[in-house]
Amino acid sequence: MKIVREALAGTMESSDLMVKIAPAEGELDVVVHSEVIKQFGDQIRKVVNDTLRAMEIRQGLIIIEDKGALDCVIRARLQSAILRAAEGTEIDWGKMR
Amino acid sequence: MQTRPSIDFRIAEVNGNTQRLDTNRTLLADSGLGMDSDITTFVEAWSGNRLVGCAGLAANVIKCVAVDEQLRGENLSARLLAEVENLALARGHFHLFLCTRPCNRERFQHSGFWPIAQSGNNAVLMENTPSGIQRYCRSLQASRVPGKRIGAIVMNANPFTLGHRHLVEQAAHSCDWLHLFVVREDASFFPFAARLKMVKAGVAHLPNVMVHEGSQYIISRATFPAYFLKETGKVQQAWSEIDLLIFRDYIAPALGITHRFIGSEPFCAITRQYNDTMHQMLAGTVMVVEIPRIKATGTAISASEVRRLLKTHQFSRIREIVPDTTFAHLESHYSAEVA
């Protein structure tokens, strides 16, 4: 999928996260901010990277402001933001788990 | 678990309805903030019938964010900011700036904002992306030209006069290369596209001048609200500093700028103060060269004089103080009865 417009998903509530996405030519720039980066930074990045790979996102600016969300929440918010930001809405739900 | 008071978020359009803003004004005053006149929309947090938080939006600049003292520590400001971001995006603004006091810097850093520049204890400018200014600098680097003396001028050119042309010529002659930025903000009488066109036509005879479209980072509503609001005092000083820090720490290094040229300012107090601040802030990094304004028929040439003459259709007098290229534009757009 290709990111063609800016999009937001999520909130700044505790246990949630806010995802911001913007188009960027030729590079994938992923920024993760988290209240629990020290304990769970690696796991959060893994969920984010797996989700991006599953949705075939190869370029764009992805900003994540995590307030201690569970993996499934991170994945869901990221998916929502990507679907809002991408063109072509044929979704292969099987791929997204 | 602690129960949290339920909060409703509402969007309030200002629309000149200043009476209903009294509550916002009181809330802001409690936090030591004034109300900026260019705010068009407030996101408000209500607890029952009490206003407990607000955040103002002026185009893509967030300001006047305040939270009731009793509700601090509830993460309400982060929720307000998320609401503002959603609202701004719906209106086509994704890249947002936030002006705040340095004491709030850390709180907003936890809400998705990154600091760009700070003026002492007075103000800090933040943006909602970690790579905005860096990305902009990378794009500027593509226009980098090698040389010993690399000059820069920032002008509004509202419109481009013989005075502007004189400044550009003087600067271009004393430099290997000159980067000329045209202020992008559309807050002036002449729209950006027209100003850019007049500048480009007016400097086309100079081979070592590159005209750049300004950006959010050079004298914009974000970096320098006072220029457009014409407020006075401390606020304006703080924002002059922020604008110049961005120039000094990001733009000048990206382009290898060694000299910045300005015209002396006999009329506008804000521009004069900006010039003075520039001498202080850039000292030791970028050489500031102030070039005296040239005169025509006794007084220094100014763009505001052109606008005044335009209103009263005095085209023969305009012809004396603008280049032919500007005159052609004014004639074709604003006149039916030129002598």
Is A68 within 8 Å of A15 (Cβ atoms)?
yes
> Cα separation of B10 and B59, whole Å?
18
Cis peptide before B159 (omega within 30 of 0): yes
From the candidates A12, A31, A34, A77, which should be mutated to test the interface with B, based on the most B CB atoms within 10 A? Answer: A12
Residues within 8 A of A (CB atoms), B 197-256 only: none
Closest chain A residue to B93 measured between Cα atoms? A6
Token pair belonging to B93: 């603004």
Q: What is the mean pLDDT of chain B?
A: 86
Which amino acid appears at position B260 of this protein? R
- pLDDT of amino acid B339: 45
Whether B110 and chain A come into contact, CB under 8 Å, resolves to yes
Token pair belonging to B105: 């810097």
Q: What does chain A come to in residues?
A: 97
Is A97 within 8 Å of A36 (Cβ atoms)?
no
Closest chain B residue to A34 measured between Cα atoms? B110
ipTM of the complex: 0.80
B200 pLDDT band, cuts 50/70/90, is very high
Is B77 within 8 Å of B66 (Cβ atoms)?
no
> Cα separation of B168 and B32, whole Å?
43
Is the pLDDT at B230 greater than 60? The verdict is no
Is B156 within 8 Å of B256 (Cβ atoms)?
no
* Torsion-angle region of A46 (φ positive above 0: left; ψ -120 to 50: alpha; else: beta): alpha
Q: Residue B244 belongs to what H/E stretch?
A: helix B234-246
Is the pLDDT at B214 greater than 60? The verdict is yes
B338 pLDDT band, cuts 50/70/90, is very low
3-state SS, residue B72: coil
Is the pLDDT at B234 greater than 80? The verdict is no
Is B203 within 8 Å of B211 (Cβ atoms)?
yes
Residues A43-70 pLDDT 10s? 999 999 999 999 999 999 999 999 999 9
Q: What percentage of chain B exceeds 70 in pLDDT? A: 94
B241 pLDDT band, cuts 50/70/90, is confident
Residues B86-135 pLDDT 10s? 999 999 899 999 988 888 898 899 888 999 998 888 888 999 988 889 98
- pLDDT of amino acid B266: 77
Residues A5-52 pLDDT 10s? 999 999 988 899 999 999 988 889 999 999 899 999 999 999 999 999
- Of B86-95, B194-203, B231-240, B274-283, least confident by mean pLDDT is B231-240
- Which of B112, B129, B131 is opposite residue A18, by nearest beta carbon? B112
- pLDDT of amino acid B2: 55
Pick the closest to residue B5 from B57, B70, B62 (CA basis). B70
Yes or no, beta carbons of A29 and B85 under 8 Å apart? no
Residue B87, Cβ neighbours under 10 Å: how many? 16
Residues B252-307 pLDDT 10s? 999 999 999 998 887 778 788 888 889 998 988 999 999 888 877 667 788 888 88
- pLDDT of amino acid A93: 74
